Amino acid sequence: MRLKHRIAVVTGAGQGIGRGIAETFASEGADIVINDLEADSRTAEVKKVVESKGVRCQVIAGDVAKRADVENLFDQTWKLLGPADILVNNAGIETIVPFTELTDAQWEAVTNTNLKSGWMCAQSFCKRLIAEQRKGAIVNIGSIQAARVLPGRTHYAPSKLAIEALTRNISAEVGPQGIRVNCIHPGLIDTPMIQWVLQSPDILPQVIAQISLGRAGLPCEIGAAAAFLASDEAAYITGQSLYVDGGWVGK
Ligand SMILES: NC(=O)c1ccc[n+]([C@@H]2O[C@H](COP(=O)([O-])OP(=O)(O)OC[C@H]3O[C@@H](n4cnc5c(N)ncnc54)[C@H](O)[C@@H]3O)[C@@H](O)[C@H]2O)c1
C-alpha cells in the first residue's frame, strides 16, 4: 500500500479519470476527498466504492474555477479529514468549436476550468503545507492535446499545454519545501467525456489507428500512473510531464 496514512484531494472525481484516480488511491490506502461540482448520486457512488476499501472519504462539492470554492475545499478537507498530503488537479471540460467561431465566454470557461483551477488549487494547497512545514505531492492532469492537434480545440489545447509550464514553474518554487509537482497527459481514456468518440463508427477507427497499443485506456490506468507519481517511489521526480496514452504521441 503505497499511499497508506496519506490524505488525497481529487478534483472532478464524480466520474471518469478522477473517479479512477480516487479508487486507485483508496486501494493504495489513502483517505480520499472527492470534489465535483455537486454532491449527487455519482459522488455518493464513488464514496461507497472508496469506503469499501477501508479508508475514510468525504465529498466536498465546489467549482474549482472559483476562488471561494477552492478555499472552502481545502478548509473543509483540513477540518473533516486533517491536513492533505496529495492534490490531483483533474477537473476539466472540453468543448469543440471552430477557431473563427470561438467566443470569449467559451475561451474563459475552458481556460478557467482547466488551467486557472489548477493554479488556484495548487496555491491554496501549497500555502497550507508550507505554513505547517509538511511535504506533499501534486499531480496535474493535462492531455495528449498538449502535443497533438485535434480540430476545434484552440481553447482546450493551450489550456492543457500550459499545465506543463504550470507544473514546471510551481515545482521549482516549492521543491525546496519538499513538495513535488508532476503532470500526466492522458491519451484516449474511456470516460463519459469521450463517449461520443468511442461510439462513433467513423471517428473511432481513425483514432485507434494512431495508438500503438490499439485501444482506449482505462481510468484506473491513469490512476496507476498518478499513484506512482504521488508516492515515495517517485521521491526524486518533480516538474515532469508523462504521456499515458498507449503510445499515441510517440507514434
Ligand atoms: N477522457 C479522455 O480521453 C481525456 C484525455 C485527455 C485528458 N483528459 C482530461 O482528464 C480530466 C478528466 O476527464 P474525464 O474524461 O474524466 O472527464 P469527465 O467529463 O468524464 O469528468 C470530469 C469531471 O469533472 C467535473 N468538473 C468539471 N468542471 C468542474 C469544476 N469546475 N469543478 C469541479 N469539478 C468539475 C465534472 O462534473 C466531471 O464529473 C480532464 O481534465 C480532461 O481534460 C481526458
Question: Would you say residue 229 lies in a domain?
Answer: yes
Question: Would you say residue 247 lies in a domain?
Answer: no
Atom 31 in ligand 1: residue holding the nearest Cα: 63
| Owning domain of residue 149 | 7-240
Number of domains composing the chain = 1
pLDDT of residue 3: 98
Question: Would you say residue 250 lies in a domain?
Answer: no
Percentage of the chain beyond pLDDT 70 is 100
Report CA(100)–ligand 1 centroid distance (Å): 25
Give the closest residue to 167 by CA, choosing from 187, 142, 149: 142
- Provide the CATH number for the domain around residue 193: 3.40.50.720
Report CA(194)–ligand 1 centroid distance (Å): 10
Question: Would you say residue 246 lies in a domain?
Answer: no
Question: Would you say residue 251 lies in a domain?
Answer: no
Q: How far apart are CA 67 and CA 116, in angstroms?
A: 9
pLDDT of residue 79: 98
pLDDT of residue 251: 83
57-59/86-89 β-pairing: unpaired
pTM: 0.98
Question: Would you say residue 46 lies in a domain?
Answer: yes
Phi/psi at 157 (5° precision): -60, -45
Ligand 1 binding pocket, CB closer than 6 Å: 11-12, 14-18, 35-37, 63-65, 90-94, 113-114, 117, 141, 143-144, 186, 188-189, 191-194
Cα torsion angle, 186, 192, 194, 197, sign: positive
57-59/31-34 β-pairing: parallel
Question: Would you say residue 249 lies in a domain?
Answer: no
Q: How far apart are CA 209 and CA 197, in angstroms?
A: 13
Question: Which parts of the chain register pLDDT below 50?
Answer: none
Question: Would you say residue 248 lies in a domain?
Answer: no
